[in-house]
Amino acid sequence: MAGVRRSAVGVAAVWVVSLLAPAGVDAAPASEGDFVGATGGRPITITELTDPAGEPLAGVVALNERGQVLGIMNADDGLGVVVWHRGRARRIDPPGAVGYPFPEDISERGQVVGTDQSVPRAFSWSDGQFTWLEPEGVESTAGAVNDGGQVVGSRGVLPTPLDVVAWQGGELVESPAGPRGTPIDVNERGQVLLGRTVWQIGAGITELGSLGAANDVRTQGMMINERGQVAGQAETAEGELHAFLWQHGRMQDLGTLGGSWSYVTQTEVDTSRVLNERGHVVGHSETGEGRVHAFLWRDGEMVDLGTLGGYVSMAVAVNKHGQVVGYSETATGEWHAFLWQRGRMVDLGAAGPGNSSAVDINDHGQIIGGLGGRAVMWTV
């Protein structure tokens, strides 16, 4: 994983926070220290994520290990790009953008990349300086960035499909993939996940394959970590989709929780850590009883994480400590964010009214998501 992770698809990708607010429910403001929950003796606090004017963020896009949150704010001139850190927010819109700048990724060094979707045109922001990655008249998108400053995306002239490319040190690097594939993730080795393939920047393409199907049309890699492992889902010889872990040129079927299928969960915010550096994978699977439960796959075993009382749960991120976050149906039919650790699922949504969702967690136990229609950070 490079910095965070990679390419949300379009403006709708950030609305998980606001869409989870139930109709007719007024969300109570959340602030530092509003909620304390028990997790093995350690408290959980909630901090509301706001824009420079103190208004709630419209959505969250990414979280890095420094605790920087990449988000979206509503503004009079459209949408604004915000970096929130330790209670302070900074608006970093690219110059000349006309209301639709969309951030995609933030590295551990705080470099932000994204796309002015009104053109489209890829941009980068670092240390207070903006860079347009392509000149005017060349359509381009930026999807991910690593800590070495390698940016991956696409470029070309519409309506011709855009080609996969990388930018490094001010230079353009073309991919042999051409228009085949969408840059989803890039790690520190310069390995770029393109869905069904991995491109080594400056070198060739490696096919991920399938789980026994005749072709790889339904293969979808979701994340690549620093070891070059890929997690995703692919078709089996029986025509079912199963979660997989790909490493050393081999795709491993992670199985199911007793049902016919399993998936690595894709959320509206496509920056979640579905794979950690230990090779642990999270997602959801059909159970033998026909329900849908979150899972954590580790050490060759798929662990059923259970639910918060309902029939459905989905795990969306796991950190290096094996802490898992996601969302689950409750016994009353609401959707609540959860944290799973030490064999126990903790209800993060119990602190506020209505629905909630957790979408990512870093190695410091900082969790981003939505609570009662507001963007928040839980800290364990």
SS (H, E, C) 213-273: CCCCCCCEEEEECCCCCEEEEEEECCCCEEEEEEECCEEEECCCEEEEEEECCCCCCCCCC
The pLDDT value given to residue 337: 97
Residue 69 structure tokens: 């949150």
Mean pLDDT on 340-346: 96
Asked if the model's pLDDT at residue 254 lies above 70, the reply is yes
To which residue do tokens 């329900």 refer? Answer: 291
Residue 152 lies inside a defined structural domain of this protein: yes
SS (H, E, C) 77-126: CEEEEEEEECCEEEECCCCCCCCCEEEEEECCCCCEEEEECCCCEEEEEE
The pLDDT value given to residue 180: 86
For residue 154, give its domain range.
11-379
Cβ atoms of 334 and 357 closer than 8 Å: no
The pLDDT value given to residue 97: 67
Residue 5 lies inside a defined structural domain of this protein: no
Instruction: Give 37's pLDDT tier (boundaries 50, 70, 90).
Output: very low
Split into its structural domains, the chain has a count of 1
Instruction: Give 260's pLDDT tier (boundaries 50, 70, 90).
Output: very high
Residue 214 lies inside a defined structural domain of this protein: yes
Residue 279, SS3? coil
Model confidence pLDDT, tens digit, residues 113-127? 999 988 899 999 999
Q: Are strands 191-193 and 185-186 parallel, antiparallel or unpaired?
A: antiparallel
Model confidence pLDDT, tens digit, residues 70-119? 999 998 878 899 999 999 999 998 777 666 889 999 999 999 999 998 88
Model confidence pLDDT, tens digit, residues 174-184? 999 988 888 99
Q: How far apart are CA 14 and CA 18, in angstroms?
A: 9
Residue 187 lies inside a defined structural domain of this protein: yes
For residues 2 and 161, which has the higher predicted lDDT (pLDDT)? 161
The pLDDT value given to residue 15: 30
To which residue do tokens 């070495």 refer? Answer: 148
Mean pLDDT on 37-51: 79
Question: Backbone phi, then psi, for 274, in 5-degree steps?
Answer: -80, -10
Query: How many residues in total does the chain contain?
Result: 380
Q: How far apart are CA 333 and CA 327, in angstroms?
A: 12
Can you list the positions of beta strands (E) in 299-365?
Answer: 301-304, 309-318, 324-330, 335-341, 344-347, 356-361
Residue 283 lies inside a defined structural domain of this protein: yes
How far is residue 349 from each of residues 79, 221, 281, 328, 364, measured CA to CA in Å?
Answer: 27, 30, 23, 10, 20
CATH number of the domain enclosing 371: 2.130.10
Residue 281 lies inside a defined structural domain of this protein: yes
Q: What is the DSSP letter of 351?
A: G
Q: What is the DSSP letter of 56?
A: B
The pLDDT value given to residue 77: 77
Instruction: Report the mean per-residue pLDDT for the chain.
Output: 88
Predicted TM-score of the model (pTM): 0.90
The pLDDT value given to residue 178: 87
Residue 1 lies inside a defined structural domain of this protein: no
The pLDDT value given to residue 369: 94
Residue 4 lies inside a defined structural domain of this protein: no
Instruction: Give 146's pLDDT tier (boundaries 50, 70, 90).
Output: very high
Asked if the model's pLDDT at residue 194 lies above 80, the reply is yes
Cis peptide before 159 (omega within 30 of 0): yes
